Amino acid sequence: MTFTPVKKRQKTAASQTGESEYNISQLPPEALGLMANFFKVLSEVSRLQIVCSLKTGAKNVTEIIEATGLGQANVSKHLKMLTQAGVVAREQRGVCVYYQIANPFLFNLCDLVCEALFAQVEQQSQQLQQLSALRQNL
């Protein structure tokens, strides 16, 4: 699947403050498909466990197994998918293969998701408290 990427905008004051160089609303369906596939790869708990285990640095399969508690076949299967998706990079060191996060931005993305989920849970908790107070007043 190939697509023509949206051209980068000229550097503006907004983009210099950390805004994305790409406008998601202008991406063609093919690019959105690539983005969806990226998120699909991250949508499995075992793969997220592996990603989290690599936050402290490169590890071999044995170290990943120890860090996650997952089985060897399971870890190997998920590492293959993560590598194919470009989330994880592999490096041969002698007889061992070490895996590391290909782009550390992934942890920024995970932090944003965690913050959004926390805010959502907080809001739901406040709404439940309000409902409970209303119920007591009836």
Region 15-43: what's the mean pLDDT? 82
Give DSSP secondary structure letters for the chain: ---PPPPPPPP-HHHHTT--SS-GGG--HHHHHHHHHHHHHTTSHHHHHHHHHTTTS-EEHHHHHHHH---HHHHHHHHHHHHHTTSEEEEEETTEEEEEES-THHHHHHHHHHHHHHHHHHHHHHHHHHHHHHHHH-
Q: What is the pLDDT of residue 10?
A: 47
Region 19-28: what's the mean pLDDT? 79
Q: At 23, is the pLDDT very low, low, confident or very high (cuts 50, 70, 90)?
A: confident
Q: What is the pLDDT of residue 45?
A: 96
Average pLDDT of every residue of the chain: 86
Per-residue pLDDT reduced to its tens digit, 56-109: 999 999 999 999 999 999 999 999 999 999 999 999 999 999 999 998 899 999
Q: What is the pLDDT of residue 138?
A: 76
Q: What is the pLDDT of residue 128?
A: 92
Q: What is the pLDDT of residue 19?
A: 57
